[in-house]
Structure 1
Amino acid sequence: ADTAGQLLEPVPTPASTTWAGIAKRFTDTHLAGIPAALKVINTDWVNRLPAVRRRALLREVTIDGDSTDVEVYGRTKQGAAHAYTGALTLRPHIGHWAEAGVPLAADLLGGKEDPRSSVVDLLDRAIGALPDGVEHIRCRWDAGYFAADLAKACITRGIRFAIGAKRTRPLIVAAGQAPDEAWVRAIGMEDTEIAVIDHLPGTWPKDAGIRCIARRT
Structure 2
Amino acid sequence: MNQPVEWILERSRLLRETHRFRPRELFRLVRNTDSGELESEWGRNRQVQSEVEALDASRDWEGFSVAYDVLSIRADIYLYFWREDGGTCLAVETDSQVPYLESGGMAEGEWLERFMCSYVAACGASACAHGRGWSATYKPLEPRQLVSELRDGTLFTRPLPGFYMLSEQFLSVDTVSALLQSHEAKRSAQYFLMRYFKVAGGYHVFSSVCQRSWWED
TM-score normalised to structure 1 length: 0.28
Higher Cα Rg: structure 1 or 2? 1
Return the structure number with greater strand share: 2
Which TM-score applies when normalising by structure 2? 0.28
